[in-house]
Amino acid sequence: MATTTDATTAAAAAAAPPPSSEDFGVGCILAVKTTLGDEFEAQIITFDKPSNVLVLQEGSKSAPRPNLRFLKANYIKEFTLLGQGEDPLDLKKCCLDINAIQAREEAAISAGKQR
Domains of the chain, CATH where assigned: 3-89 (2.30.30.100)
pLDDT for residue 101 = 85
- What is residue 104's three-state secondary structure? helix
> What are residue 83's phi and psi, to 5 degrees?
165, -175
How would you write the pLDDT of the chain (115 residues) with one tens digit per residue?
A: 454 555 444 444 444 444 444 556 888 999 999 999 999 999 999 899 999 999 999 876 666 677 889 999 999 999 999 988 877 766 665 666 778 889 999 999 999 888 7
- What is residue 52's three-state secondary structure? coil
pLDDT for residue 17 = 45
HSE of 1, CA atoms in CB hemisphere, 13 A = 2
Closest by CA to 26, choosing from 51, 5, 43, is: 43
Predicted TM-score (pTM) of this structure? 0.57
pLDDT for residue 53 = 94
pLDDT for residue 103 = 93
Report how far residue 27's alpha carbon sits from residue 61's, in angstroms, rounded to the nearest whole number: 12
